[in-house]
Structure 1
């Protein structure tokens, strides 16, 4: 049964370009389906989470991460009586704006774009779904509902102060009320992201040999889960032991979000989605105890994984790839594929051209960026192999 504060597709605020709605799919289901069919979504399969695309077939990519986030988000939304289709749409779209090479690529592109308004992956996701996907005859982008756009823009909370230019551009034509919190569905997608990456980064770091099971068993939440597995399955092999322990960690996080959020929603006494937006604070959250424990885990992962010497070595190299591609395209934009040339010809300022180049580079997959860099510089497209990760 849907809660009174859930987003109701029958009361959605509409799309930027009016359309006749489907007789058998809700507007939020159509949004989810359009995201799944988007080119930017498909490219996530070759975009990095932590490890660069070629380093192993079993590490998470942006695509597998997004699917995991959507699964967690749908579970939490169902337990709280929220709209699962809107929640899933936001979860699947939340990483569409990421550059190749993860946050390393984003940091490099943001520095390069500093004279032209910077780069922000959340704002870029909005730009993708409102402008850059160009498959439909009647409009650019995916023409998503107001609720889905709001949720993508604000899933991490209100956006105040100086807006990223890509978000400001969208908001000027379709006011997303950026100063308020988003719907509970958007908040669920944000917490599901935390649940997913906290869990799978432990898996990937163990697989990469950056730390051991015994080391993470000393951390809060994780230690008791390993102990529980050892009691229940004393003779299981190390691989099954690890999986059983970490799936319990996953369950602890999901259960905590559901229980804590249920209490927060009851206390809020919200009877509409507008009440949720107007509360001034999020209602989907971890308990203070679990949040404190997660910060200990994140500190460990930052030190032992995200800043591990082998990972940092690769990050330095891929950062150079982005830094060298940008000026090449800025000085000779016709090196970009033909279907970008109309935008290039319409660019009247250096800023407009730089933003087109940024759109192109940010949409690249890891492997394409490496191949394109090799083509344009004469380097080795496999230059990152053999770096120890």
Structure 2
């Protein structure tokens, strides 16, 4: 198994780590909490949000009713948070900020995973499209309604910036006009997000590659033998068999679990080692200086190549599998039908989503907030059609 990189014993955060005490603050000033720093407070607000609870019934790859053991957006977010905190601890970055961004990064995801997002994006094309990272920011800035003084969760700049993974220049320009120097600025001036945000993005990639492989094999749509065509999988599967010869005679589930465990460890150690080297060479003076540098958090070249190969395999063998394609087509139809129904009669929307000045965006907000099962049931109620059988 790959050896772990050297972890510095120096106590305290690295000079280039984000610090809650130096946060750029909230859009609406609030007095500090007596027992929590600002990043911890953001995390708690996210965990208690309605959008976070709905993630338990939102798809990762498989539609929610297809099995109780497959990943959902909630379990995926928890796995990203765990991986992110582990890496942040070794790099002496702010663990609380990493965890907070990880727990929030999928809050804006539609029902039915990427199928739902793609369908809603097509529906919203005449009104600026739909993208789940932008929607996640919209959720925490506006759609959550928990406080008497404001809409949204009023999160710190650093949390909001980390949630906004990508943003087209025209929209970033509009955001900059509304919030000068805000979360849209970096898409215009070419600077980077915090190191913690970059780390969370990479932890997200590590988690979904490994765990989509796990779910894919568990589902029976792909096999471990097929996946061994990918060097990263084959290498760690072979290491597992050599370290534990008895695995070959055990149920295949154990070999898969040990292979994925080793893959995860190898990728985590690789990120730590490569990032330590890059940070040690660059020596940014502080967190803001680190934003002027590229490539400080990432894989080694070899691991980046291996990770890309795994992603290509999953795309071809799992995400484009005929059974997944069939579910995807049904899911896209549900989203498109719901959008058409609400646009034709906005009175069908709950009152808080009826916006005379922007009907389409209100419809998109409502659909994006649905869980898989609620979208299925609402579609059946409005159309009389049952595209997915419960428990099928």
Measure how far apart 1:171 and its partner are: 6.8
Q: Is the 8 A contact 1:113 1:354 kept in 2?
A: yes
**Corresponding position: 1:34 with 2:42:** no
Q: What is the rounded CA distance, in whole Å, between the counterparts of 2:233 and 2:82 in structure 1?
A: 21
TM-score, normalization by structure 1: 0.92
**Corresponding position: 1:72 with 2:83:** yes
Q: Is the 8 A contact 1:181 1:282 kept in 2?
A: no
Match of 1:91? 102
Q: Is the 8 A contact 2:330 2:387 kept in 1?
A: no
Measure how far apart 1:375 and its partner are: 0.4
Measure how far apart 1:147 and its partner are: 1.1
Matching of residues 79-228 of structure 1 within 5 Å:
79-154=90-165, 159=167, 161-163=169-171, 168-169=174-175, 172-173=178-179, 175-176=182-183, 177-179=185-187, 180-228=191-239
**Corresponding position: 1:347 with 2:353:** no
Give structure 1 stretches of 5+ with no counterpart: none
Match of 1:267? 281
Q: Is the 8 A contact 1:129 1:143 kept in 2?
A: yes
Q: Is the 8 A contact 1:126 1:170 kept in 2?
A: no
Q: What is the rounded CA distance, in whole Å, between the counterparts of 2:25 and 2:253 in structure 1?
A: 49
**Corresponding position: 1:358 with 2:364:** yes
Q: Is the 8 A contact 2:23 2:158 kept in 1?
A: yes
Q: What is the rounded CA distance, in whole Å, between the counterparts of 2:269 and 2:386 in structure 1?
A: 48
Q: What is the rounded CA distance, in whole Å, between the counterparts of 1:189 and 1:278 in structure 2?
A: 18
Displacement over 6 Å in runs of 4+: none
Q: Is the 8 A contact 1:130 1:170 kept in 2?
A: no
Measure how far apart 1:380 and its partner are: 2.0
Q: What is the rounded CA distance, in whole Å, between the counterparts of 1:21 and 1:192 in structure 2?
A: 30
**Corresponding position: 1:291 with 2:299:** no
Match of 2:3? none
TM-score, normalization by structure 2: 0.92
Q: What is the rounded CA distance, in whole Å, between the counterparts of 2:241 and 2:292 in structure 1?
A: 47
RMSD of aligned alpha carbons:
1.7
Match of 1:306? 319
- Residue-by-residue CA offset, 1:257-312 (whole Å, 9 max, x unaligned): 11001111111110211111112x23111111111111111111111100001100
Match of 2:13? 2
